[in-house]
Chain A
Amino acid sequence: MVKTERLKADEVESAPGSAWLTGLAAWFFPGGGHLIVRQWGRAALMGGAVWLCFFVGLAMGGHLFDVTPEQPGLAGLLQWATIIQVPPTIANLGTGVLYIVSWIMDSGFADDPQQAARATYEYGNTFLLIAGLLNYLVMLDAFDIAAGRKS
């Protein structure tokens, strides 16, 4: 039984470098990975869903997370208030270029009480988080297609 499983594991081919690049492109530009593997319909559907989710989230007044320690140094990084920011930041980072451009433009990161008081603030947060998480799924799909594991 164990030997059979080992044989099966050996049969799994490692992914080519182009698949990793496609995955990277899919993360950086939502829908871009499927464009590279010429899956136009899926690129439009899945990339469009991620882009729309992100911009709807921003329009609703959602907040993008980043890890900014309140104190400098290791002590600041190990604070609970900092650690708790890591999971939503990872989710937001999934949107790739959308997150990076927003970060450069300092758009969506403000801790503004007026923005937080909006009825759609929490919805906006959820849309922004889900946009990133959906793009991770899209990225894995593009990687699998590029690696020949999926049609």
Chain B
Amino acid sequence: MMRTLARPVVAPEDMAELMTAVAEPEAAVADPPLHVPTAGGALLAGLLLIVSPGNPTEPEKR
């Protein structure tokens, strides 16, 4: 196919779209790593300020 170098007619909104596209902002909604509920028990226990996670405890109070 032969290419035609004739200047096309562009609409003002095309320039506006170009302007927007070159200065694309960062993603509006961040998706940072968060607590994963499915791993809840183990993770929550692990962030204790003081108490060690996963320590063995007696099955019943005596």
A and B interact: no
